[in-house]
A and B are shown apart, each in its own frame.
Chain A
């Protein structure tokens, strides 16, 4: 018999988004939030880690899927496991470290110990259990896991389509994004994290919102040299937003930086001149210098993958819903896996410049999102409008994909269409 906690087979919640208008309850209804955790975060693929965060056997990180704490491990065979961080005995979390390396997880309460693949290894004082009690029956609960080009996802749903199918047209953009490894591969270098008092979908929308950039990020733009300021003229370079299906979308702000392996003969921008010279001084040939320098600046697009991860120009942006009016955001810095150390330093400095709780960009984004959550308490009948957009420039988006100009709200509509599909169950 199904438990009462299971969501009803169908729901009217999907009605809250119609075409290009959202109901205020999307941001403020706690019951709707609970339903989203069941119908979306327990039903689709949720990003949990980049492969470089699990560098070698017996490594792990902790995170969450929806509201549920999970442990992501690489076991001694090298396989990635995503396990509920809940002891099978009486529910204590088995690990509270953010990341690390260990070959066993011992529950601190009564000492049940688990292998990194979730197997229950040992139960202390097992004489107290009746004969027939079989520890093999009580591994940590494991989720379905799959990986695409280093991006590791997990799902509670045995019936979800394969990850490759779920990502679909987004895969091409993941591949383009990973070119910023400059041939060395991509590695996580560190992360900024913060919470804001607002609904998770406000952040989801923002990843494909070029419209806000010149206004909210004016002080970031003002801190750049003229050449770089022109690079970040995100509305003025013929970019576009493209619906990639399944709620995913890409916003191309700097078309010249879609494929980082193209046009390597272009002059090295002034802001990278010091790095380029330092790399030459270290003995790298000119081709390597150009490839690395091009990669250091990151790509010119944001790939938004429903529901919780974006490949955003030069970093990963992960969102974790906390409550209807609180969201946690991680800005994960990435660099070259084994490339010149100076290149990664430059990437760290660029990341610090804009991202994180004290960056030149993020605090203003967070303030804006909080203002949305405050404002949406007013007015029950006024819709949230995501109808902006004119046609994408000729020859940009793939034929057959819905697309709009760079400032369009096409990506938000794509995400809400998937939201609606999932909420109707």
Chain B
């Protein structure tokens, strides 16, 4: 089972509430903290069923469905990934490098009833085997209002060095 070969659809907002940047930030920071604390199961619940999580191998506006990505997860793939990361059998993730990340420099890219798109910057420091590494990325979020609160519908993490050699990453960005 891999991510579907068909182009993704996005979730339609089911609640016409205006989402403020402060509300979006709260969700983004909740997500950041869950990822740093390995709260992967709770993290799954932050997503819509249609949601896509993408880490491309190139910077720019290419279409991830026809390009190679570092990570391109629909709902099924996200669940399998979390299963892998929490299984205890993935050598790179048992335990993963520790991470501390901040997300900031927020700009509202689009806003309409029930939906907000936000651009931000993420600086992450990882630590393992006496070594720290910094991973910087531009991140875009598409957040929709649902009956169950705000949910992530799309997250694209474009690494500053997306097209250069990285290293094995045993956690989520």
Interface residues of A (CB under 8 A from B): 98, 189-196, 216, 218-220, 222-225, 271, 274-275, 278, 328, 333, 341-342, 344-346, 348-353, 356-358, 360, 362-368, 370-371, 374
Contact = CB atoms under 8 A, between A and B. Distances in A.
Contacts of B68: 189-192, 333, 348, 351-352
B166 A222 contact: no
B83 A352 contact: no
Q: Is the interface of A mostly helix, strand, loop or mixed?
A: helix
B70 A358 contact: yes
B165 A352 contact: no
27 contacts: A190-B57, A191-B68, A193-B166, A195-B167, A196-B168, A216-B91, A218-B89, A219-B89, A223-B1, A224-B1, A271-B2, A274-B5, A278-B5, A341-B66, A342-B5, A345-B66, A348-B67, A348-B69, A349-B5, A352-B69, A352-B70, A356-B57, A358-B71, A360-B81, A363-B90, A364-B91, A367-B91
A31 B129 CA distance: 25
A192 B57 CA distance: 7
Q: Is the interface of B mostly helix, strand, loop or mixed?
A: loop
Q: Of A190, A222, A350, A367, which is in contact with the most chain B CB atoms at under 10 Å from its CB?
A: A367
Contacts of A353: 2, 77
A363 to B, nearest CB: 4
B2 A357 contact: no
Contacts of B70: 192, 352, 356-358
B57 A370 contact: no
A225 B71 contact: no
B12 interface: no
Contacts of A362: 168
Interface in B34-73: 55, 57-58, 65-72
B1 to A, nearest CB: 6
B114 interface: no
Contacts of A225: 1
A219 B90 contact: yes
